[in-house]
A and B are shown apart, each in its own frame.
Chain A
């Protein structure tokens, strides 16, 4: 991979945490560092030359990670997984330990033999984009807070105001679409609804990427709420997002690319006591479907064509919205597309032991 052409340089990433993962162009892996409010682009330097095929299964994933990392199972926090587009190896973002002892680890599961290794985050070709664009306590920009931005007249005075952007304390999801990393996040202060769009290679542009997302529920109530997880589909033309308040909302990518405010179409509502955890787009018989994993429901399948056909939910009596089927698959949390025939999932059994499993797409 041409690390240099993407502006990646070898060195210590300085990552303090690792969460959401997504592969981008030329095998670049994007990783979220919530604690430092940044997205890091990594060259994982996967040396496998040919793509391995077939399912991946790793029983007692947490136990395997704990053994490799040299800690108790309670000290392993699996955050996300991604599949290398060329080699098929599986990458897992893991926090080992907590507090000051907590450190981020990027674990690689070799597709060919299932062995574990890790990407040295202290010495790897990388580039970073900071998302903390709010001034810190001692930031001199505070003094010019009233002196920049659009001129407005107020109480007879003309003032130039720049809004202080929401401070981001948690990155909930990210994806690479069409030359940019989309980043969903939450602030520990503002109940913000911003989806950031950061062009890659990183060039410092990000201020213009803030995007306020709204959706209308039952034609009566408008909600601005942070996005929890999202998935691009239709080749990146559409996005289906789930919010902290559970509905599934469709956005056309064109609206998002324009920046500013976007209003989505609520296509499905889910009941109380359940949260969508992850979403993945799969192809079945030439038609695109979305799989949605949940905290309480079994794996759910939605046809993308149905999403396009779904009218915005307008009646409070409507229970569901877009048609969906509940698969006979329970305990699934994280998901990624493994290959044309398999979806890779983290699945818990009745005893709560989590394993990496490959589900045949055709069987879902």
Chain B
């Protein structure tokens, strides 16, 4: 019995020649068949067509690159053949680890890893770890085992939550195990090169980012404490905001809007500021900037509510969910660039 691959109408099929008379062939992934020759198991789904003294197998699900398949017919030994591995060299890299800060709060809620290419799921907890710089020990149970994993729509940004139960005061896991991070420690987030891209290839190389753990970040995000720099009329100079604390970069990208003026807003990589460049030059007058109250800092405190509310502390009270938060940048007439600061 001979077996081989052929392509028919763009699909890969398995061709068997010299099939023993009267024998029906079955296909298994070799990994699953193992040494078991009796193979009581239901074989791979697909359709057989007789072809001369042989047969052609069109699988219900396409053969996978790099996978070995075994064909069983009659009492003979299985014929084994392998699909060629996925082509192409490794190309994906880690572009950034966020927050891009030297010092993170002890109650940090999440890390994000940005990749250069779309990635495969299922590697977050296998190929990413948090370790102490001092002795290289892995911080145990630091990340929430999120299933499904938290990816953005194009599978380039992975969000890793530090176990929220260990961050929230009053919960049993917090009382038992404490914060995942220890103030004063240096920790390193490591991404192994085994992390697979969407094509199944590893990374070009491993990546790591080091952080010092600072004090807790508490309280609601306070847009009234931000510094707003207004641009002069007649120019396309950027309108700039400096935040009161480091914010989540992805949320800041989504949660800040300039009314009635098309343009592009960009959050600084370190999450400490935001700038907006209009498509057309500024005209004099106040420019309202709407802040979605969902906007969070790196510890998960938002404009609307704190992450971990102490019911005995009045300043932890949430905003009315319908409260609008709007900042104003006064664009001044005239051609001199005199940035105005407004609180």
By a beta-carbon cutoff of 8 Å, the part of chain A in contact with chain B is 17, 19, 34, 63-64, 66-73, 75, 77, 96-103, 105, 115-118, 134, 142-143, 145-146, 150, 152, 154-155, 157, 159, 161, 163-164, 166-167, 169-172, 186-192, 212, 216-225, 244-247, 261, 269-273, 275, 295, 316, 319
A246 touches B172 (CB 8 A): yes
B333 within 8 A of A: no
Interface residue from B149, B157, B290 paired with A145 (Cβ < 8 Å): B290
Interface residue from A64, A98, A169 paired with B122 (Cβ < 8 Å): A98
A189–B267 alpha-carbon span in the complex (Å): 14
A-B CB proximity, top 4 nearest: A272-B173, A99-B198, A245-B165, A99-B120
B169 touches A221 (CB 8 A): yes
A271 touches B172 (CB 8 A): yes
B64 touches A169 (CB 8 A): no
Q: Supply 16 A–B pairs (Cβ within 8 Å), ascending by A.
A: A66-B29, A70-B61, A72-B67, A99-B119, A118-B60, A146-B257, A154-B326, A217-B171, A221-B168, A222-B309, A222-B311, A223-B309, A245-B163, A245-B173, A261-B321, A270-B172
Residues of B within 8 Å of A216, CB to CB, are 311
Residues of A within 8 Å of B157, CB to CB, are 188
Interface residue from B29, B169, B196, B292 paired with A163 (Cβ < 8 Å): B292
The number of chain B residues with a CB under 8 A from chain A is 89
Contact with A along B162-192 (1 / 0, CB 8 A): 0111101111110111000000000000000
Contact with A along B318-338 (1 / 0, CB 8 A): 000111111010000000000
B254 touches A164 (CB 8 A): yes
Interface residue from B198, B250, B321 paired with A100 (Cβ < 8 Å): B198
B322 touches A152 (CB 8 A): yes
Comparing B17-25, B40-48, B234-242, the segment that makes contact with chain A is: B40-48
A295 touches B293 (CB 8 A): no
B288 within 8 A of A: yes
Residues of A within 8 Å of B164, CB to CB, are 191, 225, 244-245
Contact A247 to B296, CB < 8 A, known contacts A71-B67, A99-B199, A189-B250: no
B44 touches A68 (CB 8 A): yes
A146–B150 alpha-carbon span in the complex (Å): 29
B59 within 8 A of A: yes
A191–B168 alpha-carbon span in the complex (Å): 13
Q: How many whole Å from A241's CB to the nearest CB in chain B?
A: 14
Q: Of residues A67, A101, A161, which shows the largest number of chain B Cβ atoms within 10 Å of its Cβ?
A: A67
B312 within 8 A of A: yes
B175 touches A116 (CB 8 A): no
Q: Name which residue of chain A comes closest to B294, CB basis.
A: A190
Residues of B within 8 Å of A217, CB to CB, are 168, 170-171
Contact A70 to B46, CB < 8 A, known contacts A63-B41, A216-B311: yes
Contact A244 to B144, CB < 8 A, known contacts A71-B64, A99-B196, A225-B164: yes
A152–B153 alpha-carbon span in the complex (Å): 33
B165 touches A98 (CB 8 A): no
A70 touches B27 (CB 8 A): yes
A59–B149 alpha-carbon span in the complex (Å): 28
Q: How many whole Å from B235's CB to the nearest CB in chain A?
A: 22
B63 within 8 A of A: yes
Q: Name which residue of chain A comes closest to B305, CB basis.
A: A224
Considering only residues 256-307 of chain B, those with a C-beta below 8 Å from chain A are: 257, 259-260, 262, 288, 290, 292-294, 296, 300, 302, 305, 307
A224–B198 alpha-carbon span in the complex (Å): 33
B173 touches A246 (CB 8 A): yes
Interface residue from B60, B141, B200 paired with A99 (Cβ < 8 Å): B200
Residues of B within 8 Å of A192, CB to CB, are 294
Residues of B within 8 Å of A189, CB to CB, are 159, 248, 250-251, 254
A205–B151 alpha-carbon span in the complex (Å): 26
Q: How many whole Å from B80's CB to the nearest CB in chain A?
A: 14
Q: Name which residue of chain A comes closest to B313, CB basis.
A: A220
B165 touches A68 (CB 8 A): no
B177 touches A273 (CB 8 A): yes
A72–B30 alpha-carbon span in the complex (Å): 8
Interface contacts beyond A220-B311, A221-B168, A273-B141: sample of 5 additional A-B pairs, CB < 8 Å, sorted by A:
A68-B43, A99-B121, A157-B288, A159-B288, A163-B321
A66 touches B150 (CB 8 A): no
Residues of A within 8 Å of B170, CB to CB, are 217-218, 220-221, 316
B255 touches A272 (CB 8 A): no
Contact A63 to B32, CB < 8 A, known contacts A169-B152, A273-B141: yes
A169 touches B44 (CB 8 A): no
Q: Name which residue of chain B comes closest to A158, CB basis.
A: B324
A96 touches B149 (CB 8 A): no
A316–B325 alpha-carbon span in the complex (Å): 36
Residues of A within 8 Å of B296, CB to CB, are 190-191
Q: How many whole Å from B260's CB to the nearest CB in chain A?
A: 7
Residues of B within 8 Å of A67, CB to CB, are 28-29, 32-33, 41-44
A157 touches B309 (CB 8 A): no
Residues of B within 8 Å of A146, CB to CB, are 257, 259-260, 288, 290
Interface residue from B41, B141, B294 paired with A64 (Cβ < 8 Å): B41
Residues of B within 8 Å of A63, CB to CB, are 32, 41
B125 within 8 A of A: no
A205–B119 alpha-carbon span in the complex (Å): 33
A164–B293 alpha-carbon span in the complex (Å): 9
Residues of B within 8 Å of A115, CB to CB, are 42
B31 touches A66 (CB 8 A): yes
B244 within 8 A of A: no
Residues of A within 8 Å of B172, CB to CB, are 246-247, 269-272, 319
A69–B165 alpha-carbon span in the complex (Å): 38
B109 within 8 A of A: yes
Q: Name which residue of chain A comes closest to B148, CB basis.
A: A170
Q: How many whole Å from A151's CB to the nearest CB in chain B?
A: 9
B169 touches A101 (CB 8 A): no
Residues of A within 8 Å of B152, CB to CB, are 169, 188
Residues of A within 8 Å of B194, CB to CB, are none
Contact A70 to B45, CB < 8 A, known contacts A99-B196, A189-B254: yes
Contact with A along B132-157 (1 / 0, CB 8 A): 00000000010011101111110001
Residues of A within 8 Å of B161, CB to CB, are 191, 244
B45 touches A69 (CB 8 A): yes
Q: How many whole Å from A130's CB to the nearest CB in chain B?
A: 13
Q: Name which residue of chain B comes closest to A260, CB basis.
A: B321
A295 touches B177 (CB 8 A): no
A219–B170 alpha-carbon span in the complex (Å): 9
